[in-house]
Amino acid sequence: MSGRATPEGDGYRLSGSWPVVTGSVDSRWCALLGMVMDGDAPRKINDKPDVRIFLVPTEKLEILPTWKNSAVMRGTGSNEAHATDIFIPENFAYKPGTEPVFKRPLYTCPPQVHSMPLFAAVVVGVLNAALASATNEIANKISGITGLSQREQPASQELISESNALVRAVRSGCLDAMERSWEFAIKGEEIPLALRAEVYSSCFLAADLGRELVSKLYAKGTRAAFLQGHPLERALRNIHAIVGAIDARRAGFQYSAGRVLLGGEPLDPGF
């Protein structure tokens, strides 16, 4: 856990370091995950660590630029953030699963249900860009050795056809699960665990298939893709960074999704 919070009066003293805080330069507030401490050990509620999301003014953080030398995800505005003994009032320390203050659908459904699909959406965006670039290059590539068009090769035809179908399937699957979840949310009804499991499993499938597909398109592209800044080169770098971020949630959400679909209970309290 990157952040530690010590109870004090009607709030907490938060300290810690977070290596990637998206939008930290441009936003006035950011949400940082931290664990409430009881002395040197985590405070427990119902035998589970008291983990909270702390809303912190960015002006109180020390923000270090980490992407100037990075090759991936420069457009996210992410940087490293440090907090030193910042006081956070109790009502700015959200505990997943607690009763929401606002009763609107966006706030009443579990946060991860509508935040996890952000990863899938970014994956689909990267896939669309990679597929468009690869399709254009394969359609116009003539082998300097054989003089044959690459678009006439069955392997290239199969790759582009399969990739086109896969992007559409991934997008439709994620949208379907989210739309059905939103129908429950707008009626003020609890989203069934099995439907939440479908949301999470769709997101992880998008990540895994996205990483595999971009790698195939990169391998089948022209030598121009080896140059830094080429759309396929950027897609290859970015997709691995995106999947690396979602992998941090795999144990709590993909595995829990499988448990739920098998008739069990999720392991993560924020499920």
Annotation: CATH topology of 105-261: Butyryl-CoA Dehydrogenase, subunit A; domain 3 (1.20.140)
DSSP-based three-state secondary structure for 218: helix
Q: pLDDT digit string (tens) for 37-64?
A: 988 889 988 888 899 999 999 999 998 8
Sign of the dihedral defined by the CA atoms of residues 96, 99, 100, 106, in that order? positive
CA–CA separation, 26 vs 28, rounded Å? 7
pLDDT tens digits, 189-209 = 989 999 999 999 999 999 999
pTM of the model: 0.74
What's the pLDDT band for 228 if we cut at 50, 70, 90? Answer: confident
Mean of pLDDT over the chain: 87
| Residue 73 scores a pLDDT above 70 | no
- Rounded to 5 degrees, what angle do the CA atoms 103, 108, 114 make? 135
Above 80 in pLDDT, residue 188? yes
Interval 97-148: pLDDT, tens: 777 777 788 887 888 888 889 889 989 999 999 999 999 988 888 777 677 7
Residue 89 pLDDT level (bands cut at 50, 70, 90): very high
Which of these, 94, 92, 58, 60, lies nearest to 77 by C-alpha position?
A: 58
Residue 106's pLDDT is 81
Q: What are phi and psi of 179, to 5 degrees?
A: -65, -40
Q: Write the CB contacts of 265 (distance below 8 Å, at least 6 apart in sequence).
A: 259
Where residue 1 falls among pLDDT bands split at 50, 70, 90? low
- Beta 3-8 vs 29-38: how paired, if at all? parallel
Please, what is the end-to-end C-alpha distance for the chain in angstroms? 19
Overall average pLDDT of the 217-239 stretch: 83
Question: 17-33: per-residue pLDDT in tens?
Answer: 998 887 777 789 999 99
Question: Does the pLDDT of residue 66 top 90, yes or no?
Answer: no
Q: Which of 181, 194, 201 is nearest to 262 (CA)?
A: 194
Topology of the domain comprising 3-94: Butyryl-CoA Dehydrogenase, subunit A; domain 2 (2.40.110)
Segment 213-232 shows an average pLDDT of 83
158-171 per-position pLDDT tens digit: 999 999 999 999 99
Contact 246, 203 (CB under 8 A): yes
Q: Residue 177 — very low, low, confident or very high, per pLDDT cuts 50/70/90?
A: very high
Q: How confident is the model at residue 87 (pLDDT cuts 50, 70, 90)?
A: very high
Q: What is the dihedral of CA 260, 1, 55, 38, to 10 degrees?
A: 100
Determine the distance from the C-alpha atom of residue 264 to the mean position of all C-alpha atoms in its chain, rounded to a whole number: 25
67-81, 100-114, 193-207, 218-232 — which is least confidently predicted?
67-81
Confidence of residue 76 (pLDDT cuts 50, 70, 90): low
Percent of the chain beyond pLDDT 70?
94
pLDDT value for 261? 94
Q: Residue 253 and residue 271: Cα distance in Å, rounded?
A: 7
Better-scored residue on pLDDT, 67 or 107: 107
At position 185, the amino acid (one-letter code) is: A
Side chain identity at residue 196, one-letter code: R
Residues of the chain with CATH 1.20.140.10: 105-261
